[in-house]
A and B are shown apart, each in its own frame.
Chain A
Amino acid sequence: MTALPITRLSMREAVSRRLVLIGVLVSAAFLALFGFGFHALYTNVSSQGTEDRAELALGATIITVLGLYIVRFLAAMLAIFLASGAVATDVDSGVLHAVLARPLSRTSWLAQRCLAFVLVTVGYLALMTTAVLGIAAGIAGYAPLDPVRALAVLALELVVLLSVGLLASTTWSGVTSGVVTFCLFGVAWLAGIIELVGDQLRNQTMQLIGIGTSLLIPSDALWRGASFYLQPPSALLLTRQAASGNPFAGSAPPTTSLIVWSVGYAVSLLLVAAWRLRHRDL
């Protein structure tokens, strides 16, 4: 098979890095901890004879969503880590020179590399999300609204982060690109909380800050949209009544305009990255 050699090599490269091995160990430890903690809490609350089944379900929802939030964070870190070094590191080390002297366009190289990172990060996300939801279902019969749709939205978030990291990597060094992308990711998270509080206080300025930041980088808005599908219908009713009590989760599905904006955002950034790479001297 001769198809997509860069994709295949990039996937092997991603998986062969020592940091990724450590990441797998951390992920396994996280899943064990999540399962153990969830089980302990659930049996404890159950044995106390809590009459309020709804309260129990809400507790399970908060913990599960928190667990998935961490999964999403780890997957985002993986995406930022892979993308920010993708161009810069290979140019600096000279690995790229022999590769691009082959009859291969730079755009094709970038597209194949991007595809590899999408496969690795989305694969990781799907695996970990399935594991967390499986644990929650096994212990508490947790049944989210639409996990497949949630995964699709979270995959879009990873593509957005990959596009930011790849674009940064065509301009700056690997470390700088990583820091810049991570900062944007953090700003989006902070703005998400500001918007949430703004919603509760009905403060328009705070809401605008949140919306503006979501335009700048829609990662957190996508998480909040996805998290809607990760909660069971009963919990959604409760959180809506409690006026978005969970700062990690959203209480409404992602809007069509958010999805369209995010897709356009990622595609545009990748096109600019390809253009920059094509016109650069290596």
Chain B
Amino acid sequence: MTSASAAIRARGLHKRYGRHVVLDSLDLDVEPGQVVGLLGPNGAGKTTTVKILTGLVHATAGRAELFGVPVADPTARRRLGYLPEHFRFPEWLTGIELLRFHARLAGRDPGREAGRLLGLLALVGLEGRGDDRIRGYSKGMTQRLGLAQSLVGEPDLVLLDEPTSAMDPLGRREIRELIRGLATDGVAVLLNSHLLSEVELVCDHVVVIDRGVVLRSGTLDEVRSAAVEVRIELDRVDQRTLDLVAGHGRIVASDDHEVLLGVDDPDVVPRLAVDLVQSGARIRALVPLRRSLEDAFVGLVGREESG
């Protein structure tokens, strides 16, 4: 059964605090080896979604499973690694002590895995700092330790809630490489981040949510190219041409020679070309404008806001 092999399968997740609805029938799928970015403005329900998946928050309705096990069952978390958004660790512990503690919680024998735990510290760039108390760590170092902590049980699924918020650009790059490495090994990663450029660099799938609803989900390219703009350059733009073009999308701007058309589906472009040629218009250029994830995000969320 495929549902048993899915790292995350959530159906109709609903969460309400009093009368305030945080999640409204949210579906989410993450398969092994995928790096999925969960995007949305503040208060969209990203952290709530992650907390439901980790069993920290109980959904009001709906179903969520990790590797086919319902999240209410603690054993669902056997293959899970998690870095919380507002993570804090007992400051009086040393870095390596924290990893040993979490290794024990993950059901491992830290005595036998001393070498692997030191390797994890090195992997996140904390080599040689394992015997320092967490009290003396900078924010970025604590975040690196948090990442090592999430990997301590050799998880098949890692949930990272803003994993690089306290890191410098170099640190971010290292973590991106680390995440890509995990995916290569078949680990599923759900990344919750405000940094769209970072998501663009590391994720292969994206889910955009707002007010607890999925606005768009798919591969990075699908989400980016959805709702593109097309620049149409003609010899002359008259009212007849404008009417024709408007039938294919929304006119964003126009002048005597150019029309900027917003379309929901990039497949519109070939049909638009045929119609324009048949109408006798002389096409100088027909350019779908490739947008950044940020443009797509603003387009999706912004339209939702104004609608």
Contacts and interface: CB of A to CB of B under 8 A. Distances in A.
Interface stretch (B54-62, B202-210, B232-240, B287-295): B54-62
B114 interface: no
A48 interface: no
Contact of B87 (A1, A9, A12, A94): A94
A202 B86 CA distance: 59
A99 to B, nearest CB: 7
A104 B108 CA distance: 13
Interface stretch (B88-96, B257-265, B296-304): B88-96
Contact of B86 (A9, A94, A279): A94
Contacts of A98: 82-84, 87, 89, 102, 146, 149-150
Nearest to A108: B74
Contacts of A49: none
Most buried by B among A97, A98, A105, A281: A98
A1 to B, nearest CB: 8
Interface string A10-24: 001100100000000
B75 interface: yes
A246 to B, nearest CB: 42
Contact of B104 (A2, A13, A93, A281): A2
A281 B58 contact: yes
A16 B90 CA distance: 11
Contacts of B51: 97, 281-282
Most chain B beta carbons < 10 A, residue from A6, A93, A281: A281
Interface in B52-79: 54-58, 74-78
B109 interface: yes
Given A2-B109, A101-B80, A282-B56, A13 B102 contact: no
Contacts of B74: 103-105
Nearest to B80: A101
Contacts of B58: 279, 281
Contact of A5 (B75, B87, B101, B146): B101
A9 B90 contact: yes
Interface in B116-175: 146, 149-150, 153, 159
B77 A102 contact: yes
A95 interface: yes
Contacts of B102: 98-99, 102
Given A5-B104, A105-B74, A100 B87 contact: no
B105 interface: yes
Contacts of B89: 95, 98
A46 B247 CA distance: 112
A146 to B, nearest CB: 39
A141 B82 CA distance: 60
Nearest to A97: B84
Contacts of B86: 94, 97
B82 A2 contact: no
B106 A100 contact: no
B84 A94 contact: yes
Interface residues of B, number: 36
B146 to A, nearest CB: 7
B56 A100 contact: yes
Contacts of B106: 102-103
Nearest to A100: B56
Contact of B54 (A2, A12, A13, A101): A101
A103 B81 CA distance: 10
A2 B107 contact: yes
A102 B105 contact: yes
A95 B88 contact: yes
A8 to B, nearest CB: 8
Nearest to A102: B105
Nearest to B89: A95
Given A2-B107, A103-B74, A13 B56 contact: no
Contacts of A95: 88-90
A119 to B, nearest CB: 18
A13 B77 CA distance: 25
A95 B106 CA distance: 16
Interface of A: 1-2, 5-6, 9, 12-13, 16, 93-95, 97-105, 279, 281-282
Of all A-B residue pairs in the complex, the 6 with the closest CB atoms, nearest first, are A101-B82, A102-B105, A5-B104, A97-B84, A101-B54, A94-B86
Interface of B: 51, 54-58, 74-78, 80, 82-84, 86-90, 92, 101-102, 104-111, 146, 149-150, 153, 159
Given A98-B83, A105-B74, 18 more contacts: A2-B110, A12-B92, A13-B90, A16-B92, A94-B84, A94-B87, A97-B84, A98-B146, A98-B149, A100-B55, A100-B56, A103-B75, A103-B105, A103-B106, A104-B105, A281-B51, A281-B57, A282-B51
26 contacts: A1-B111, A2-B109, A5-B101, A5-B104, A5-B105, A93-B88, A94-B86, A97-B56, A97-B82, A97-B86, A98-B82, A98-B83, A98-B87, A98-B89, A98-B149, A99-B105, A101-B55, A102-B105, A102-B106, A102-B153, A103-B74, A103-B78, A103-B107, A104-B74, A104-B105, A281-B56
